[in-house]
Amino acid sequence: MPDEMRQIAHRLKEIREVCGFSADETAARLGVSTARYVGYEENGENIPISVLYALANVYGVDITELLTGNSPRLSDYCVAKRGRGTGVDRYPGYHFESLAYNFKRRIMEPLMVTVEPE
């Protein structure tokens, strides 16, 4: 498993424990089985981006905290230079890059999605 995914999995468990939720409670809030949720925490693989957003809402944190471990700090604007956004490779051939990863209280998540040709 890539180190990035291992870190995200570790943060999921850590934030859940800090928030005082059990794995069963969190799974129920997400509408998935406990076994599936525990799998997210153990190996971090195949976590849909929609689940990461749902977890951020459940825990009351910004998705940037789940992905990077840091809180966003900017409130007026955010500049993401080419190739410098927070990237996530979730599926073979797809690369997601947040263009406003450091912007707090955003109402949407602007993503650059790059799809490799087959």
For residues 78 and 99, the answer to whether their CB atoms sit within 8 Å is yes
- Cα angle 26, 31, 23 (rounded to 5 degrees) comes to 20
pTM assigned to the model: 0.62
Domain annotation covers residue 21: yes
Domain annotation covers residue 85: no
Domain annotation covers residue 33: yes
**Model pLDDT, residue 48:** 83
Q: Using the predicted structure, report yes or no on whether residue 22 has a pLDDT greater than 80.
A: yes
With cut-offs at 50, 70 and 90, classify the pLDDT of residue 29: very high
Domain annotation covers residue 94: no
Whole domain around residue 9: which residue ranges? 3-68
- CATH number for 61: 1.10.260.40
Domain annotation covers residue 62: yes
Q: Using the predicted structure, report yes or no on whether residue 6 has a pLDDT greater than 80.
A: yes
Helix (H) or strand (E) holding 5: helix 3-19
Domain annotation covers residue 76: no
Domain annotation covers residue 118: no
Summarised one tens digit per residue, pLDDT across range 70-109 is 666 655 555 666 666 666 666 678 877 777 767 766 777 7
Phi then psi for residue 45, to 5 deg, are -90, 150
Q: Using the predicted structure, report yes or no on whether residue 42 has a pLDDT greater than 80.
A: yes
What total of structural domains would you count in the chain?
1
